[in-house]
A and B are shown apart, each in its own frame.
Chain A
Amino acid sequence: MLTKGEARHLEKMAWVIRRNIIEMISGGKVGHLGGSCSVAEILSVLYFHRMKGLDGNNPKNPERDRIIFSKGHAVLAQYAALVELGYFPREEMKKLKTLGGLLQGHPDMKTPGIEAVTGSLGQGLSVASGMALGLRLDGSKSKVFAVLGDGELAEGQIWEAVMSSADYKLGNLCAFVDKNSVQATGATKDIFPIEDIPGRFRSFGWNVIEIDGHDVCQVEDAIEKADETKDRPTVIIALTVKGKGFPFAEGKAAYHNAGISEDEYKEALAIVGGKLKEYEDA
């Protein structure tokens, strides 16, 4: 459980993540704003509180916990957190998706702190599962986290990995489903509805926890419950809002992967600035 002070700090860091995302896609760039903002609180808790062994000066520390973004298009949120942990210089943010830059459009292992190549949807849970198998074989205490999109659950390979992770009783694997209910071209319920996500995971033998994905206390409590479950993997189904934090983008498929106008940029900066000031004043 988080103390009040910890919770406030992690809420603030979620807004720092959002600020960095906005900065990266300013100046006419296109980026996956929606799905990056929906995972801000989840990543804030993981990167700034929960994951062990993270070290910007030693990204390959063998004792570290791992995180795999199966929904690789939301990598902006990862960059936004990694830069705060010193994995690469802030100047790289401006060079996002440029020939001379370090930060690719989707996760690439040349970027310090990125653990796997993802972006072609449906593969990250399998990769995370393989890592969890290997770490367990070594007697490692490291945990593997995976972040999946709800639209991504249409990929058949996800369910192959759901089955094998349960078969191999991977208690060291914890997946998040960022259930923002909107995918690239519309609402998930209209594009390809996947009913009863908790029931589906439960029927495959997973420990299932449902939370409000924008509540840092619920995120932390869910991870603690996952830690207590040693005999099977845990999925934390996090109800979120796509584009969370920015009214012009919230819940809109149009901001799945889009540029923002100068006015929207100013509005976003004002919102973030206001939020960060609130936390600093408190």
Chain B
Amino acid sequence: MHKESLRKAYGDTLVELGKIDERVVALEADLGKSTMSNLFGAEFPSRYFQMGIAEQNMISTAAGLALVGKRPFASTFAVFASGRPYDQIRSSVAIANLPVVICGSSAGLSDYGDGKTHQSVDDIAIMRVLPHMTVLSPCDAVETRKMMHAVLKHDGPVYIRINRNDLPVLTKEEGEYRIGEMSLMRDGKDAVCFATGVMVSKALEAAEMLEKEGVSLRVVNVSSIKPIDVEALRKYSSDVKAIVTAEEHSVIGGLGSAVLEALAPYGVKLGMVGMEDTYGRSAENYDVLMEYYHLTKEEIASRVKTMLEA
């Protein structure tokens, strides 16, 4: 399957947004070559603010830029974009409900070599808990591009989680991305998997596997984790016998929790595939690390069967 870089899509689209809207400015904490915000810097040097290795100052400075009418995009690795400046995001940006876009790049385990200090398995949880915050997690490069156009129109803070590695292109170029919507990637009648980010492709592979065993799995891409579309969650889950979530993130506070919180009043049971209350670790490549933490199509398929038997 054709693979594309999400961070290249982020950088390219940032340049596009800069061309169509001169309010767009970008800030970076010395990881612009990885996040690819440096593409914006090359095109618009006067609107690109290299803030050095000082994420807290970067976030509050972005708030100041938003307060005078700019549309700041602040990028760095997800761990340093979420946890490190958490209180700056909370106080300077989110309480004030400012249109600052925070790009958490190299998210999840995708920075496989750098180990646990650089792998964000808690960023969805800590961003999701903030009132006013929108939390987005694209599954591919095409969705990333469309999402970027949508966040520019959104009047409030946004956290976008970007995978470091090239991922299969699963979504279509046509149509606009709308914050708060989820999309049906494959229909099925026995069970549903609500997946986000890289786990969408794994869920689709799991559906292929299960089909051979006579199990029909519906796969839904939940790229808008907050706000989450409760009606759509109900629609996609009410006619099946099992529900599973899949995320490259802790099962505490992430997509699984969001789905469970939304569906709990309706008495549903849920199987969660994700990181089990643990940090990451270094590995020689992305695939072996994902296997080590059971973030695989096999795990999704097995969890679906367990839930169907439950």
Give A contacts to B, CB under 8 Å: 62, 66, 68, 108-109, 115-120, 122-124, 126-135, 137-138, 140, 156-157, 160-161, 163-164, 167-168
Q: Is B25 in the interface zone, CB < 8 Å from A?
A: yes
Given contacts A127-B61, A130-B60, A130-B63, contact A118 B91 (CB under 8 A): yes
A140 to B67, CA, bound (A): 14
Check B61 against A115 for contact (C-beta < 8 Å): no
11 contacts between A and B (CB under 8 A): A109-B96, A118-B91, A124-B60, A126-B64, A134-B69, A137-B46, A140-B68, A157-B54, A157-B57, A163-B54, A164-B51
Check B25 against A134 for contact (C-beta < 8 Å): yes
Given contacts A123-B91, A134-B25, contact A116 B57 (CB under 8 A): no
Q: 1/0 per residue B44-77: CB within 8 Å of A? A: 0011010110101101111111111110100000
Q: Is B261 in the interface zone, CB < 8 Å from A?
A: no
Check B88 against A157 for contact (C-beta < 8 Å): yes
Q: Which residues of B contact A132 (CB under 8 A)?
A: 64
Given contacts A117-B96, A134-B70, contact A127 B60 (CB under 8 A): yes
Q: Is B92 in the interface zone, CB < 8 Å from A?
A: yes
Contact of A123 among B47, B66, B88 (CB under 8 A): B88
Check B57 against A160 for contact (C-beta < 8 Å): yes
A117 to B62, CA, bound (A): 13
Q: 1/0 per residue B84-98: CB within 8 Å of A? A: 000110111001100
Q: Which residue of B lies closest to A131 (CB)?
A: B64
Q: Which residues of B contact A133 (CB under 8 A)?
A: 49, 61, 64-65
- Which residues of B, 17-58, contact A by the 8 Å Cβ criterion? 25, 46-47, 49, 51-52, 54, 56-57
Q: Which residues of A contact B68 (CB under 8 A)?
A: 66, 130-131, 134-135, 138, 140
A157 to B57, CA, bound (A): 6
Give B contacts to A, CB under 8 Å: 25, 46-47, 49, 51-52, 54, 56-57, 59-70, 72, 87-88, 90-92, 95-96
Check A161 against B57 for contact (C-beta < 8 Å): yes
- The 3 A-B pairs with the shortest beta carbon distances in the complex, nearest first, are A130-B64, A126-B60, A160-B57
Check A127 against B70 for contact (C-beta < 8 Å): no
A163 to B47, CA, bound (A): 19
Q: Which residues of A contact B87 (CB under 8 A)?
A: 120, 123
Contact of A161 among B60, B66, B70, B95 (CB under 8 A): B60
Q: Which residue of B lies closest to A157 (CB)?
A: B56
CB distance from A201 to the nearest CB of B (A): 16
Q: Which residues of A contact B49 (CB under 8 A)?
A: 133, 168
Check A131 against B92 for contact (C-beta < 8 Å): no
CB distance from B75 to the nearest CB of A (A): 16
Q: Which residues of A contact B63 (CB under 8 A)?
A: 116, 126-127, 130
A69 to B63, CA, bound (A): 14
Q: Which residues of A contact B65 (CB under 8 A)?
A: 130-131, 133-134
Extra contacts besides A126-B63, A140-B68, A157-B57 (17): CB < 8 Å:
A116-B67, A117-B92, A118-B92, A119-B91, A123-B91, A126-B57, A126-B64, A127-B61, A127-B67, A130-B60, A130-B65, A132-B64, A160-B52, A161-B60, A164-B51, A164-B54, A164-B61
CB distance from A123 to the nearest CB of B (A): 5
Given contacts A131-B65, A132-B64, contact A137 B47 (CB under 8 A): yes
CB distance from B2 to the nearest CB of A (A): 39
Q: Which residues of A contact B90 (CB under 8 A)?
A: 120
A64 to B274, CA, bound (A): 50
Given contacts A109-B96, A117-B96, A120-B87, contact A160 B56 (CB under 8 A): yes
CB distance from A51 to the nearest CB of B (A): 15
Given contacts A117-B91, A137-B25, contact A128 B64 (CB under 8 A): yes
Check B88 against A161 for contact (C-beta < 8 Å): no
CB distance from A77 to the nearest CB of B (A): 20
CB distance from B67 to the nearest CB of A (A): 6
A134 to B70, CA, bound (A): 7
Contact of B61 among A109, A130, A156 (CB under 8 A): A130
Check A116 against B46 for contact (C-beta < 8 Å): no
Given contacts A137-B47, A157-B88, contact A127 B54 (CB under 8 A): no
A156 to B57, CA, bound (A): 9
Check B92 against A116 for contact (C-beta < 8 Å): yes
CB distance from B190 to the nearest CB of A (A): 49
Q: Which residues of B contact A128 (CB under 8 A)?
A: 64
Q: Which residue of A lies closest to B92 (CB)?
A: A123
Q: Which residue of B lies closest to A123 (CB)?
A: B60
**Residue from A109, A115, A126 having most chain B Cβ neighbours under 10 A:** A126
A135 to B91, CA, bound (A): 22
CB distance from B305 to the nearest CB of A (A): 48
CB distance from B70 to the nearest CB of A (A): 5
Check A127 against B25 for contact (C-beta < 8 Å): no
Q: Which residue of A lies closest to B97 (CB)?
A: A109
A138 to B69, CA, bound (A): 10
A130 to B51, CA, bound (A): 11
Q: Which residue of A lies closest to B95 (CB)?
A: A117
Contact of A126 among B47, B56, B69, B70 (CB under 8 A): B56
Check B52 against A163 for contact (C-beta < 8 Å): yes
Check A126 against B92 for contact (C-beta < 8 Å): yes
CB distance from A148 to the nearest CB of B (A): 13
A118 to B91, CA, bound (A): 7
